[in-house]
């Protein structure tokens, strides 16, 4: 055998050994991947809220006349009323807040009040609106994946029994906002 044939033969043997090692490594990596793979490891989970407002989310109201606290959701004289539905369209449970972002509150007293009713027409939460600010009206409301909740906000100028002429022809401008995030136990 010549020296060139010897080099060629050694090169071929080395090439075959490298191919065998690569094949064994690739097979080992493939089986290791199959063993360590979990059933849900390739699924993507999302959390998304969809909000539908009956009258839009902007409040622009100037026709508030003093009145007593509404006795029910159907007691709508001299009140602003807006219903909305929050739907969790994602695959994760979520929590959300109902916020009121007040851009202009011309009322001089703290007599603007609100009720938020749940889908069963029961008062969920009540409070007052006092100045230009952002208010969290209700917080940490749990909503399961693929479920919906209905709410109605009712705003009125509370009758105090005192002179309220200072609040005549005043305006409230605000936006109802929903902000949510994934629920973590």
Bridging pattern class, strands 66-67 and 148-158: parallel
Q: What is the mean pLDDT of the chain?
A: 86
Instruction: Read off the pTM.
Output: 0.72
pLDDT tens sequence across 52-76 = 999 888 998 767 889 999 988 898 8
Task: Please give the pLDDT value at position 115.
Answer: 94
CA distances from 85 to 3, 54, 71, 136, 177 (A): 86, 8, 23, 17, 12
Q: What average pLDDT does the segment 75-91 reach?
A: 91
Bridging pattern class, strands 123-129 and 112-117: antiparallel
Task: Please give the pLDDT value at position 85.
Answer: 95
pLDDT tens sequence across 91-129 = 889 999 999 999 988 887 678 999 999 999 999 999 988
CA distances from 17 to 14, 23, 24, 28 (A): 5, 10, 11, 16
| DSSP secondary structure letter of residue 51 | E
Which residue's structure tokens are 């622009």? Answer: 60
Bridging pattern class, strands 172-182 and 134-143: unpaired
CATH hierarchy code of domain 49-182? 2.60.120
CA distances from 6 to 10, 14, 15, 20, 56 (A): 6, 12, 14, 21, 86
pLDDT band with cut points at 50, 70 and 90 for residue 42: low
Residue 147 has pLDDT above 90, yes or no: yes
Residue 2 has pLDDT above 80, yes or no: no
Residue 92 burial (CB count, 10 A): 15
Residues 6+ apart with CB under 8 A from 106: 170, 171, 172
CB burial string 96-123: b at 16+ within 10 A, e below: bebbbbbeebebeeebbbbbbbeeeeee
Q: What average pLDDT does the segment 42-48 reach?
A: 66
Q: What average pLDDT does the segment 157-179 reach?
A: 88
Report the candidate in 185, 184, 152, 178 with the shortest Cα–Cα distance to residue 48.
178
Q: What average pLDDT does the segment 3-17 reach?
A: 86
């Amino acid at each position: 055998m010549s020296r060139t044939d010897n080099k060629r033969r050694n090169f071929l043997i080395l090439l075959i050994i490298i191919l065998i090692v690569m094949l064994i490594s690739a097979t080992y990596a493939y089986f290791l991947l199959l063993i360590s793979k979990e059933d849900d490891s390739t699924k993507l989970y999302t959390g998304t809220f969809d909000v539908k407002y009956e009258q839009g989310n902007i409040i622009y109201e100037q026709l508030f006349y003093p009145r007593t606290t509404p006795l029910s959701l159907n007691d709508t004289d001299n009140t602003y009323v807006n219903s909305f539905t929050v739907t969790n369209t994602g695959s994760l449970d979520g929590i959300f807040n109902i916020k009121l972002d007040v851009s202009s509150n011309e009322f001089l007293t703290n007599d603007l009040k609100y009720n938020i009713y749940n889908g069963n027409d029961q008062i969920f939460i009540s409070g007052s609106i006092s100045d230009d600010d952002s208010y969290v009206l209700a917080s940490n409301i749990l909503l399961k994946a693929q479920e919906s909740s209905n709410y109605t906000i009712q705003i009125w100028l509370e009758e105090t029994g005192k002179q309220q002429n200072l609040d005549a022809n005043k305006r409230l401008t605000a936006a109802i906002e929903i902000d949510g995030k994934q629920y973590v136990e």
